[in-house]
Amino acid sequence: MLVPILTAGQWQAARTDRVADVFNPSTGQVIAQVPLCTVEETSAVVEAAAAALPKWSATPVIERARLMFRYRELLEKNFDELAKLVTREHGKTLAESRAEVRRGIEVVEFACGIPSLIMGQSLADVAREVDADVSRHPVGVCVGITPYNFPAMVPMWMYPIALVCGNTFILKPSEKVPLSAVRLAELLVEAGCPAGVFSVVHGDAPCVETLLTHPAVAAVSFVGSSPVAKWIYERGTQAGKRVQAAGGAKNHFIIMPDADPAATIDALSASAFGCGGQRCMATSVAVAIGSIGDPLVEQLSTHAANLRVGPTDTTSDVDLGPLIRREHVTRVAEYVEVARQEGATIALDGRRKFDSPGFLLGPSVVDQVRPEMRVARDEIFGPVLSVIRAANLDEALALGKQCPFGNGASIFTRDGYAARQFKQHFNAGMLGINVGVPAPMAWLPFTGWNGSFFGDLHVQGTEGVQFYTRQKVTLSRWFAPSAKQASEDPLWSGKFKSS
């Protein structure tokens, strides 16, 4: 099956002869092929989106909101099918896919409130008899370029908000997971989205470069790895686009000696190994404070060793599904060896043979890691957790300051003062206090810091509305009628005369 593109309201087969395989990571089998669109094909999609813009941006805001109300109903109706599709092309467990689709629907629900969210401001008498108001207007054709690890949720961080703000939108999903994006688009068309208002194009570097530089594109939202995010930000802003680019992560999880042991182990294991460690909010480094180190490593290794690793498409009795590709399994597994060579201790080794053709890798726990080691610095994006021992909270906060990323961090403690110190001083944008995955929520911005985000306005929440709108300030003065006008104009029959 060749995955179609959506342009000018039509599903079409792309003409390019360059394609990439889409796999079911649980079976290792190819389930579709995705076209890698050419510059010309991508430009045509942009031009169709630009042609649809004037009518859509002039559509009353409540009608744009009603599209989202109808879309939400269809997403609910097709919820199970969407979750299964995410599992099929990504490999995460069905429970994880359901959670992802649910988070995405919440953004649609947020977008339903656009008439209130997009309101402007006014200030009467800003000068003598002059009033000022600020109104919000669409920016134009917007583009979303998304990663493989959340095939449904990350696209939904973007287009529901962009569309209700009056923009047209082109989604370029990850070529590794294009099927969920296509299904989301089919449902949007079914909900009544007009032709050209929402488009889907597939591709790699030539397609992305075209989207970034085409004169008709106004704004680009990107989520993916940091090197690509940085390049997207630089290239897009150079071409005069508004760009928000969320990047990779190296999230820390601090365990204070007073933390509740059972709750901490459960949360740490879920954060490090859930979705195979392929979450931008996954914990990658556990920082054990003081005496907690030895029992933590022992209990965590026992817990992780008991996680059920296996294919997710046919059974729900699995805790840890496959990784996205065979090459990714090899890359992640190499980090365990690198850690050993750099002097760390392998407390749990997830490298083993599985009785399945899927892209499977068990969880690994690497102890006695030092901050300068590669496992402590690189984004691994797989089920390998490093444990760094620290003497106190100050040392843990210092580790955060050295980290080039800044997506998120968590602390587990019963001590309010330690929690407050963490909140005030940890060098990252999304924090969890006794919460292992400080997940982005629809109503709030996803506030990655440092090398985890390039731009100003983040995705989601009211920052999303700000990103997808530009403001207009209008100063108005209306002159009082002259005495002659007032006497001649029936509207000014005397009683309305200016005093």
For residue 311 the two structure tokens come to 């294919």
Nearer to ligand NAD, 62 or 205 (CB): 205
Nearer to ligand NAD, 208 or 419 (CB): 208
Nearest in space to 146 (alpha carbons), one of 83, 235, 229, 82: 229
Nearest in space to 12 (alpha carbons), one of 169, 195, 141, 144: 195
Nearer to ligand NAD, 100 or 319 (CB): 100
Residue type at position 242: R
CB of 402 to ligand NAD, least distance (A): 19
Instruction: Tell me how far apart the alpha carbons of residues 448 and 426 are, in angstroms, rounded to a whole number.
Output: 13
Instruction: Tell me how far apart the alpha carbons of residues 101 and 72 are, in angstroms, rounded to a whole number.
Output: 11
Cβ distance 216 to 47 under 8 Å?
yes
CB of 86 to ligand NAD, least distance (A): 14
Nearer to ligand NAD, 126 or 439 (CB): 439
Question: Would you call 280 a catalytic residue per the annotation?
Answer: yes
CB of 73 to ligand NAD, least distance (A): 27
Instruction: Tell me how far apart the alpha carbons of residues 65 and 425 are, in angstroms, rounded to a whole number.
Output: 40
In this structure, how many other beta carbons lie within 10 angstroms of the beta carbon of residue 54? 9
Which chain residues interact with ligand NAD by CB under 6 A? 145-150, 154, 172, 174-175, 204-205, 208, 223-225, 228, 246-249, 280, 379, 381, 407, 446, 448, 452
Instruction: Tell me how far apart the alpha carbons of residues 435 and 419 are, in angstroms, rounded to a whole number.
Output: 12
CA distances from 364 to 316, 323, 354 (A): 22, 14, 15
Strand-pairing partners, residue 145, are 172, 222
Nearer to ligand NAD, 157 or 422 (CB): 157
CB of 224 to ligand NAD, least distance (A): 3
CB of 297 to ligand NAD, least distance (A): 25
Residue type at position 316: S
For residue 194 the two structure tokens come to 């007009």
**Which of these is catalytic: 37, 165, 275, 280?**
280
CB of 153 to ligand NAD, least distance (A): 9
Nearer to ligand NAD, 38 or 301 (CB): 38
CB of 317 to ligand NAD, least distance (A): 27
CB of 157 to ligand NAD, least distance (A): 8
Angle ∠(107,178,59) on CA atoms, nearest 5: 45
17 contact partners, CB below 8 Å, separation of at least 6: none
For residue 216 the two structure tokens come to 């008709």
For residue 459 the two structure tokens come to 């995705």
Residue closest to ligand NAD (Cβ): 224
CB of 146 to ligand NAD, least distance (A): 6
Nearer to ligand NAD, 205 or 473 (CB): 205
Nearest in space to 448 (alpha carbons), one of 423, 430, 426, 424: 430
Nearer to ligand NAD, 56 or 150 (CB): 150
Give catalytic residues, as residue numbers.
280
